[in-house]
Every structure is written in C-alpha cells, then in structure tokens.
Chain A
Amino acid sequence: MALYRVLKPLSRNEKRIEIGQITALAWLKPEQTAVLVERRAVSRLATPPLVELPGWARRAKRLDKLGIVTAEDFLEAPDQEVAFEMKVRVQTVAKWKQGIHSWLVIPPERGG
C-alpha cells in the first residue's frame, strides 16, 4: 500500500489530519484516493533509500536482502518479519519505524 503526503488538511470522521502528515489512506478505495490526489489534497510520497539516512547504512544493507530499500518499503514491511530477519525484538522494529516516520513528517507551521 502506498504512502501519501497530506497537502490540505483532511477530516476523517471526528479527526483532523494536518498538512505534512503521511498516511496510507488505508480506509479509502483506490478511486477515492485518486479523487484526493486529483484535488491535490494529498500526493504520493517519495521516500529516500534507507542507506541515505544517517546511521542507517549497515541496517539498510541487511534490510536490502529482504527487498526493503526505501523508507516506505520499511514502514510497510511486517514488524514480525523484519524483527526475525534482523534478529531484534518486534518493539525495536516499531521504534525504528517511529523514528523513520518522524523524519518524514513535516511539522505544522506556527500561528493562526
């Protein structure tokens, strides 16, 4: 499933998804996602290769063997599978993902 950058604030039921956040829009049908892309409310996220992230060179090489090359590949990979292959705890994988996620999110502008 692809990841998208939020370009206009989105509302989902009672929640608001701010500009700069990333989301998989997992609750939408492909044709609904296409509407949001067409209206420039979201855009397909282009994530960097993991090997380019500071401190990730060695980890990226090992993940490459699993076919995980980009940050998006990593975020979407099953935690259990990654944990098994990397010989770490599932919680560690979740922590890595949280770190990558926060790198990709653009913090909201201040004011108004």
Chain B
Amino acid sequence: MSQTTTSINACDVAIFLDNASGTATDISGSSNKVEIPLVQEVGEARTFQNDWKIRKACGRDVTFNITVIYTTTADEGLDILRDWFFGTASKTARTIAVYMPDKNVGSDHYYAEVIFNTGNIPADPSEPGPIMCEFTLLPTGAVSHTTAST
C-alpha cells in the first residue's frame, strides 16, 4: 500500500456558529479546539455456553466540544456562547458548521442544529496563558457530513 499524500492538519479549520440574530458567524479566530466524537449505540448479550458476545447497533449521536478563548470582543466565540446561555433563547437550537481542513471547495463540512448543553469558564491565577473555556453542544436531529461546494 502506498503512503497517503492527502493527510491534513487542523491549522485552518473553520468553525461557524449562529449568533443571536441567526447569522452564521466565524468563531475560528477565537477558538482553538473542536472535537466531534461519533457514537453509535451498541447493545450486547452473551448466550449460555458461548464465549463471544452478540452485538447490535442502533441509534447514532454526535457531540460538538468546542474550546474558545476568553475574549472581551462582541460576536467572538465566548460572547456568542455565553449570550446564548444567559439569553432568553437558551433553549433554542442554533446551527454549527465545521470545515476541515479549511473553508474551501472540496473540504469536509460537518453541520447540525445544536442545543447548548454545558459550558465551563475557568479562572486560575496560577495559569498565565489565555483562559480557555469549554462548551458542549448537542445536536437535535440529523448531523450532516457533506463536501463543501462553495
């Protein structure tokens, strides 16, 4: 098998999240990590006189874990996420879109309508670096993976 020539890194990944007005806003410049664990529900059983398990798969789920930098600018990652939680529409779904390796034609495009699940705003005086805030967004409905054509 020949060695791959199409590996990518995450340097130019783009993350878009709706702001309170419903406008897709590029928060890539104020976030530095996104994780998208993919989970399929699997049930199992073992019968008598047999070592090996039977497994069946059913539903699928995805989580969007985003790390944003604590900044003081409006419409950056933290501002949008924090306002979403503290605002009157915290229970309303918004669209998230992640482009890998970048936001160009041919890139992988993951997107979903998501609900705010958890957030963490840590403050540690012994940490001189920027404050990193972690948020978990859970999809409601299907999560899509497409190839970007714009």
Instruction: Tell whether A pairs with B.
Output: yes
Interface set, chain A 15-36, CB cutoff 8 A to B: 16-17, 25, 27-28, 32, 35-36
Interface set, chain B 98-150, CB cutoff 8 A to A: 104-106, 109, 111, 144-150
Contact check, B111 vs A11: say whether CB atoms are below 8 A apart.
Answer: yes
Contact check, B106 vs A11: say whether CB atoms are below 8 A apart.
Answer: no
Interface of chain B, main secondary structure: strand
Report, as a range, how many residues of chain A touch the other chain: 10 to 19
User: What is the bound-complex CA distance between A27 and B150, given in angstroms?
Assistant: 8
Contact check, B105 vs A36: say whether CB atoms are below 8 A apart.
Answer: yes
User: Inside 8 A of B147's CB, which chain A residues have their CB?
Assistant: 8-11, 36, 39, 41
User: What is the bound-complex CA distance between A28 and B147, given in angstroms?
Assistant: 14
Contact check, A39 vs B150: say whether CB atoms are below 8 A apart.
Answer: no
Contact check, A35 vs B146: say whether CB atoms are below 8 A apart.
Answer: no
Contact check, B145 vs A32: say whether CB atoms are below 8 A apart.
Answer: no
User: Inside 8 A of B111's CB, which chain A residues have their CB?
Assistant: 11
User: What is the bound-complex CA distance between A41 and B104, given in angstroms?
Assistant: 14
Interface set, chain B 54-110, CB cutoff 8 A to A: 104-106, 109
Q: In the assembled complex, how far is the CB of residue B148 from the closest CB belonging to chain A, in whole angstroms?
A: 6
- 22 sample A-B contacts, Cβ–Cβ < 8 Å, listed by A number: A8-B146, A9-B144, A9-B145, A9-B146, A10-B148, A10-B149, A11-B111, A11-B146, A11-B148, A13-B150, A16-B144, A27-B150, A28-B105, A32-B149, A35-B106, A36-B105, A36-B106, A36-B149, A39-B106, A39-B147, A41-B147, A41-B149
CB within 8 Å of A: which residues of B? 104-106, 109, 111, 144-150
CB within 8 Å of B: which residues of A? 8-13, 16-17, 25, 27-28, 32, 35-36, 38-39, 41
Closest 5 CB pairs of A and B: A35-B106, A11-B146, A41-B147, A32-B105, A9-B146
